[in-house]
Amino acid sequence: MKIIEAIKKKREFSGLPNSIVERVAEMSKGDVKESRALLRKYFGVFLTNKILKGKISDDEMLVSHMSSKKRDYEKFYGEIFSEIKGVGSVIDLGCGVNGFSYKYLRDVVGNVDYVGVEATGQLVEYMNRYFRKENFSARAVAGDLFDVGSVLRILKRAKKNRVVFLFQVVDALENLERDFSKKFILEISKECEKIILSLPTESLGGRKKFAVRRKWLLDFLREDFVIEKDFVRGGERIICFRK
Ligand SMILES: C[S@@+](CC[C@H](N)C(=O)[O-])C[C@H]1O[C@@H](n2cnc3c(N)ncnc32)[C@H](O)[C@@H]1O
């Protein structure tokens, strides 16, 4: 697969799974430039150069990533878990650098197991290095969420009660395959006790507010699940639900 190799020559894409690069290459009919533009749009815009080059301290990680920088993790986790008790594990799908928030998670729910699944290999490496250093009961796995079988295997092995995070990943999934997130949520809900999903309420640049009503997603969740919590905090709408 020459085209995949060509696309991955750029450092920012070198750590992505081939399955994702292949999917995007197909979408852009084998055009390397266009494939890179799409990958940058879906995977790269959250990453600063500082993160990619690894020239950053563990403490700076969360504030350097577009999705996590605005979160006040103490309050964020406090609110999410205020009524959820007996958590055994947290499985964070499309986790970005969120593994660096493990200490805040532990303050709220205790010593739970944490597994982060993330496409960008460099981030997985940094998180695992950090987990080992801190001796946390946590690991990160490089993978593609479109490989649902692998995700289900991770969930099956995880300690109950299992809470799945899907923070700001629906857009990424929908961009690559329309309506995939519904199928995905239905599948993973068979192997976990709760799902916490979040959607951005502002565009990435933060300037223009865009109405993120995402009616289709909310209608689907209301129909197939019990919504236990739904709140907005720091430019993010957070929905907690179960089967
Ligand atoms: C907007 S970021 C959100 C990061 C994190 N969940 C957070 O909210 O802090 C989306 C993340 O999902 C990852 N991602 C997108 N599609 C993926 C896929 N198919 N498999 C694995 N990870 C994926 C991206 O690499 C990126 O790190």
Query: What does the pLDDT read at residue 42?
Result: 83
Full 3-state SS string of 104-140: HHHHHHCCCEEEEEECCHHHHHHHHHHHHHHCCCEEE
Q: For ligand 1, is residue 46 a contact (CB within 6 Å)?
A: yes
Q: What is the CA(93)–ligand 1 centre distance, in A?
A: 7
Tell me the per-residue pLDDT of 101-149, one tens digit each, with 9 for 90 and over. 999 999 999 999 999 999 999 999 999 999 999 999 999 999 999 999 9
| Amino acid symbol at 61 | M
Q: What is the CA(115)–ligand 1 centre distance, in A?
A: 14
Q: Which atom of ligand 1 is nearest to the CA of 67?
A: 9
Are 232 and 76 in contact by the 8 Å Cβ rule? The answer is no
> 160 versus 216: which is more confidently predicted?
160
Q: Both tokens of residue 53?
A: 């080059």
Q: For ligand 1, is residue 142 a contact (CB within 6 Å)?
A: no
Are 141 and 124 in contact by the 8 Å Cβ rule? The answer is yes
204 pLDDT exceeds 60?
Answer: no
88 pLDDT exceeds 60?
Answer: yes
Q: Which atom of ligand 1 is nearest to the CA of 145?
A: 20
212 pLDDT exceeds 80?
Answer: no
Q: What is the CA(31)–ligand 1 centre distance, in A?
A: 24
Q: For the ranges 61-65, 145-149, 233-237, which has the lowest average pLDDT?
A: 61-65
Q: Which residues of 75-108 are buried (b: 16+ CB within 10 A; e: fewer)?
A: ebbebbbeebeebebbbbbbbbbbbbbbebbbeb
Q: Which range, 66-75, 77-86, 205-214, is most confident? A: 77-86
Tell me the per-residue pLDDT of 162-176, one tens digit each, with 9 for 90 and over. 999 999 999 889 989
Q: For the ranges 66-70, 106-110, 192-196, 215-219, which has the lowest average pLDDT?
A: 66-70
Q: For ligand 1, is residue 145 a contact (CB within 6 Å)?
A: yes
Ligand 1, atom 13, lies closest to the CA of 94
Tell me the per-residue pLDDT of 14-56, one tens digit each, with 9 for 90 and over. 999 999 999 999 999 999 999 999 998 888 766 777 777 777 8
Tell me the per-residue pLDDT of 148-164, one tens digit each, with 9 for 90 and over. 999 999 999 999 999 99
Q: For ligand 1, is residue 124 a contact (CB within 6 Å)?
A: no
Q: For ligand 1, is residue 100 a contact (CB within 6 Å)?
A: no
Query: What does the pLDDT read at residue 208?
Result: 46
